[in-house]
Structure 1
Amino acid sequence: MDKLRAMQVFVRIVEANSFTRAAETLGLPRAALTATIKNLEAYLGTTLLQRTTRKLALTPDGADYHAQCVQILDAVALAEQGFRAGAGKPRGTLRVDLPDAVGRHVVLPHIAAFAEAWPELALTLSFSDRLVDLTQEGIDCALRVGDLQDSSLVGRQVGSMRFVTCAAPAYLDRHGAPQSIGDLRHHQGIVHFSGRTGRPFDWDFLADGELVKTQVPGRIAVDNADANVACALQGLGITQAARYQVRGHLERGELVALLADTPPAPMPVSLLYPRGRMAAPKLRVFAEWLTERLAGEPDLCLAPASTQ
Structure 2
Amino acid sequence: MDSLRGIESFVRSVEMGSIAAAARHLGISPAAASQNIARLERDLGVRLLQRTTRRLGLTDSGQVYFERVRPVVHALEAAATAVSALNDTPRGRLTLSTSVAFGRHVVAPLIPGFARLYPQLSVELVVTDRAVDHIAEGIDISVRFAEQLEPSLIARRLVTVPMLICAAPEYLARRGTPRTPEDLVHHDCLLYRLATHGRLFRWTFLKDGTLYEPDIKPKIISNDIDTLTSMVLAGAGIARLGAFIADALIAKGLVVPLFQEAPVAGGSSVAGSTTVAAHTPFTFYACTLDRHSATPKIRAFIDYAVAALSAR
TM-score by length of 2: 0.74
> How well do the aligned residues superpose, as a CA RMSD in angstroms?
3.8
SS for the counterpart of 1:144 is strand
Cα 1:156/1:107, change in 2 over 3 Å: same
Q: Which amino acid aligns with 1:219?
A: K
Q: Which amino acid aligns with 2:82?
A: L
Which residue of 1 is the match for residue 270 of structure 2?
Answer: none
Which residue of 2 is the match for residue 29 of structure 1?
Answer: 36
Cα 1:222/1:178, change in 2 over 3 Å: same
Give the count of matched residue pairs: 278
Which residue of 1 is the match for residue 81 of structure 2?
Answer: 77
The answer to whether residue 249 in structure 2 is matched with residue 249 in structure 1 is: yes
% of aligned pairs identical? 30
Q: Which amino acid aligns with 1:97?
A: S
Question: How far 1:147 moved relative to its partner?
Answer: 3.3
Please give the alpha-carbon distance, in whole angstroms, between the structure 1 residues aligned to 2:286 and 2:247: 24
280-289 or 214-223: bigger deviation: 214-223
Which residue of 2 is the match for residue 292 of structure 1?
Answer: 307
Q: Which amino acid aligns with 1:265?
A: T
Q: Which amino acid aligns with 2:170?
A: A
SS for the counterpart of 1:110 is helix
Which residue of 1 is the match for residue 206 of structure 2?
Answer: 206
Which residue of 2 is the match for residue 259 of structure 1?
Answer: 259
Please give the alpha-carbon distance, in whole angstroms, between the structure 1 residues aligned to 2:85 and 2:300: 15
Please give the alpha-carbon distance, in whole angstroms, between the structure 1 residues aligned to 2:229 and 2:281: 18
SS for the counterpart of 1:124 is strand
SS for the counterpart of 1:235 is coil
Q: Which amino acid aligns with 2:287?
A: L
SS for the counterpart of 1:93 is strand
Native 8 Å contact 2:157 2:285 kept in 1: yes
Native 8 Å contact 1:155 1:271 kept in 2: yes
Which residue of 2 is the match for residue 156 of structure 1?
Answer: 156
Question: How far 1:107 moved relative to its partner?
Answer: 2.0
Which residue of 2 is the match for residue 175 of structure 1?
Answer: 175
Map of 1:229-244 to 2, 5 A cutoff?
A: 229-244=229-244
Which residue of 2 is the match for residue 109 of structure 1?
Answer: 109
5+ residue gaps, structure 1, are: 38-48, 298-308
Which residue of 1 is the match for residue 134 of structure 2?
Answer: 134
Cα 1:111/1:279, change in 2 over 3 Å: closer
Question: How far 1:55 moved relative to its partner?
Answer: 4.2
Q: Which amino acid aligns with 1:296?
A: A
Please give the alpha-carbon distance, in whole angstroms, between the structure 1 residues aligned to 2:295 and 2:6: 20
Question: How far 1:191 moved relative to its partner?
Answer: 2.0
Which one of 289, 292, 295 corresponds to residue 274 of structure 1? 289
Please give the alpha-carbon distance, in whole angstroms, between the structure 2 residues aligned to 1:36 and 1:164: 62
Native 8 Å contact 2:193 2:199 kept in 1: yes
Please give the alpha-carbon distance, in whole angstroms, between the structure 2 residues aligned to 1:285 and 1:218: 42
